[in-house]
Every structure is written in structure tokens, then in C-alpha cells.
Amino acid sequence: MHEATIAQSVLEAISAEAKKQKARPIAAKISYGVFNAINTETLKFAFEAISKDTVCENLKLNIEQKPIKAKCKKCRATFEFDLHESKCPKCRHDDFELLPDAPLLLEEITFEDK
Amino acid sequence: MRKVKVRKKILIANEEYAAKNRAFLKERKIPCLNVISSPGSGKTTLLAKTIETLRGKLSIGVIEGDIQTDIDAQRIRKAGAPAHQINTDGACHLSAAQISDAFHKLPIDRLDLLFVENVGNLVCPSTFDLGETDKIAVLSVPEGDDKPAKYPMIFARAAAVLINKIDILAATDFNIKKVKADISKLNKNTKIFLVSAKTGEGMKQWCDWLENMADSKRKKALKKTRPRQ
Ligand SMILES: Nc1nc2c(ncn2[C@@H]2O[C@H](COP(=O)(O)OP(=O)(O)O)[C@@H](O)[C@H]2O)c(=O)[nH]1
Ligand SMILES: [Mg+2]
Ligand SMILES: [Zn+2]
């Protein structure tokens, strides 16, 4: 439900970089953890709407969702947390610590050749 | 075409405010609990009952978050605790910056425990760090026992889950055993309390837990600085 706010922050970050590079961005990749509660389609739609008449108009936004990781309290192994199989894949122990979700990250931007 | 690696964090502002809030609370040794649930699960009723139960034992303050109105802050004041209302004007969650402002609208240095009642929503508030000590989830019986499985993010991160409205259990097919198992699967260390804010059932266990937590954080420090009233 807060995708509009996020789209605005993404637009600002890409525009700032475009200004630095003095080039037009044509694609960008962002990533975030699956627990971030961001709907990918809604975010793309919001971005498209607010980027009209800006340097980011028609930019292709690629989104990567990163799995959440957990750390086993017994064998200390780090593994990808699976909601349906919430046990350590190594030792089958069920006491683990969920690690922080991957933050919202602007990974890379593709610019048009000058 | 030219690719440029950026690897820049977005929404950094919220994280910065959250870190500031955490430091502010830590310095004053005030535990802060961010209460998250769907609308109508009974957060405000629970907080009012908690305040009444702990009267004379813990000095509690509440930051209320709602899209509109200050009805909930009024309910808290009526129960006998200072409250500050934030209206998010459409936003689906509280942000850390709003909490930084709200600290100073409460007699913060007199508090043993601070609650934040987040905007009613099981999804978004769980991802916005406010700088709280812990998150508390509330799930009420009429919402159904499938919610931990459907909305895992809040239940996985909560230090405690309150299952509220157990007074109406008999009228539903809510399966407590299943809910407990689903929550433990996400987080084995979550404390689960079965309560009714209406009848007061289970409130003692929950309030004891709160007192213990506040004790370890705050009371020792308080004794050194001022006598308790
Ligand atoms: N039967 C029953 N009703 C409750 C209980 N706790 C709250 N309610 C009712 O649930 C409704 C919503 O409560 P409220 O505290 O405003 O929920 P909030 O939106 O989560 O703050 C109100 O009508 C309350 O009286 C309870 O333990 N049992
Ligand atoms: Mg309320
Ligand atoms: Zn293990």
C-alpha cells in the first residue's frame, strides 16, 4: 500500500544519478527482500505514472526480490528461509533466528549512449 | 548502452530516524513496543485494559497511529495514561520520523513503558522500523486462525503475540493449537498470550511479562535517580 512513496524515492535516486552521469537512464534494477511487503506490479505502475515528463519516462524498471535468510541456533548454518519447511536444512533443528530482510536497494542503471 | 553499478539504499531516511529513536529510548532505558494488527483486533481496548491493570505499578505512555481522528488517544487518556495521536492522512503505517516528533509530546522521562499503536494493517507496519524495542502482534479470534500462515512477516518478527477475544472462542472454529504451531514455526521464541480485553482473562500473564521486561530495563536505573511514588 505504500508503493507510491517508494516509487517516488526510486525516481529521486535514479534522477540524481542521471544528473551526475549527464545521461538518460533507460533501465534500472532495484532489489528488496521478500518481507518488504511491496507489490511488484503496483510499484511498477506507480513508477510509470510519476515518471511521466521526467528524465525517467519510459524507463524499464527491473525488480529482484531477495529471499530472507535465517541462521540456525544449533549448527550456526545460514540458510534461505522457507515458510513451508522451517527447519535448518543441515541439521533439521527448528530453532533459528531470522536475519534482517534485504534493504530496498538501487542496484544499477543502464544509460543511453551519448 | 552503459551500465552503472549504484548499490544505493533507498528509504534510508526512515532507517536513520529509527536508529535515532532507538538510541533515544536506550539512553532513557524505556522499552518501546510497536503494536501491530488488523483494524478492529482490539489493540486500543487491550492497551486501555493494560494501563488499568498496571496502574500504580508502571507508568505507561502511548503513541497512537490512525489514518484519521484522535478517538483512540482519547480512549487511552480516559484509561489514565498520557497519549499522543498521530494521523497518517492515508498512509498505511507509521514512520520513524513521526515517532521522533511524538516522543516530545509525552512526559517521556516519567515513563517506564511506551506503546506505539500502529495503523491497523498486518502488512506494511511490519516492514517499517520505528526504532522500537520489540514488535507485538495482536490477532483476534474472529479474524480466523489462518492469519499467521497468510501474513508471516509480522508473526515472524514479533516478540509476543496476543490472541485476543478468546471470550468468543466457543462461537467460532478458531483452532488455538494450530495457531500456536504456525507461529512457533515462524519463530520458536515468540511468547503467545491468550487474552480477552473484554473480560480480563489472561491479562495477568501479559501484564506480568510487561512488568518483568520494564523491570529489567528501567526500574533498577530509576531507583538510583529518584524514589518511586
Ligand atoms: N468480544 C470481545 N470484543 C473485543 C475484545 N477486545 C476488543 N473488542 C471489541 O473489538 C472492537 C475493536 O476494538 P479496538 O480496540 O477499537 O480495536 P483496534 O482497531 O485494534 O484498536 C471494539 O468493538 C471492542 O469492544 C475482546 O477481548 N472480546
Ligand atoms: Mg485502535
Ligand atoms: Zn542447523
Per-residue pLDDT tens for B176-223? Answer: 999 999 999 888 899 999 999 999 999 999 999 999 999 887 655 555
DSSP E strand stretches across chain B: 2-9, 32-36, 60-66, 83-87, 113-117, 134-140, 158-164, 191-194
Query: For residue B50, what are the CA distances in angstroms to A13, A103, B84, B116, B156?
Result: 44, 35, 17, 13, 24
Tell whether B144 is covered by a domain. yes
pLDDT at B221: 59
pLDDT tens, position by position, A4-62? 889 999 999 999 999 999 999 999 999 999 888 889 999 999 999 999 999 999 999 99
Q: Would residue B225 count as lying in a domain?
A: no
Whether the CB of A39 is below 8 Å from some CB of chain B: the reply is no
Q: How confident is the model at residue B226 (pLDDT cuts 50, 70, 90)?
A: low
Label residue B90 by pLDDT band (50, 70, 90): confident
pTM above 0.80, yes or no: yes
Ligand number nearest to the C-alpha of B83: 2
Confidence of residue A100 (pLDDT cuts 50, 70, 90): confident
Residue A66 has pLDDT above 80, yes or no: yes
Average pLDDT, rounded, for chain B: 93
The answer to whether position B107 is within a domain reads: yes
CATH number of the domain that B58 lies in? 3.40.50.300
From B124, which residue of chain A is nearest by alpha-carbon distance?
Answer: A37
pLDDT of residue B130: 97
Does residue B23 lie in a domain region?
A: no
DSSP H helices, B80-114, are: 96-103
Per-residue pLDDT tens for B15-51? 899 999 999 999 999 999 999 999 999 999 999 999 9
CA angle A77, A82, A87 (to 5 degrees): 50
Q: How far is A69 from chain B (nearest CA, A)?
A: 12
Q: Which chain A residues are Cβ-neighbours of B146 within 8 angstroms?
A: none
Among protein residues, the one whose CA lies closest to atom 10 of ligand 1: B42
- Is residue A13 less than 8 Å (CB to CB) from chain B? yes
- Domain hosting B76: range is 29-217
Q: For residue B82, what is its C-alpha cell?
A: 498520557
Domain tally for chain B? 1
Q: Is A13's CB within 8 Å of B8's CB?
A: yes
- What value, to the nearest 5°, has the Cα angle with vertex A55 and ends A54 and A60? 100
Q: Where are the domains of chain A?
A: 3-66+101-111
pLDDT at B219: 54
Distance between CA A38 and CA A33 in Å, rounded? 9
* B8 belongs to a structural domain: no
B24 lies in some domain: no
Neighbours of B3 (CB within 10 A): 11
In a domain, B206, yes or no: yes
**Run of H or E including A69:** strand A69-72
- Grid cell at residue B195: 487474552
Please write the tens of the pLDDT for every residue from B71-84: 999 999 999 999 99
Domain at A3-66+101-111, CATH from 3.90.226.10, 3.30.2320.50, 3.40.30.10, 3.30.390.50 = 3.30.2320.50
* A84 interaction partners in chain B (CB closer than 8 Å): none
**B150: which chain A residues are within 8 Å (Cβ-Cβ)?**
none
- List pLDDT tens digits, range B128-163: 999 999 999 999 999 999 999 999 989 999 999 999
Element (H, E) at A40: helix A40-50
Asked whether residue B104 carries a pLDDT value surpassing 50, the answer given is yes
- Shortest CA distance from B94: residue in chain A: A2
- Kindly report the number of other CB atoms within 10 A of residue B17's CB atom: 20
In angstroms, rounded to a whole number, what is the distance separating the alpha carbons of residues A47 and A9? 10
Is the CB–ligand 1 distance for residue B43 below 6 Å? yes
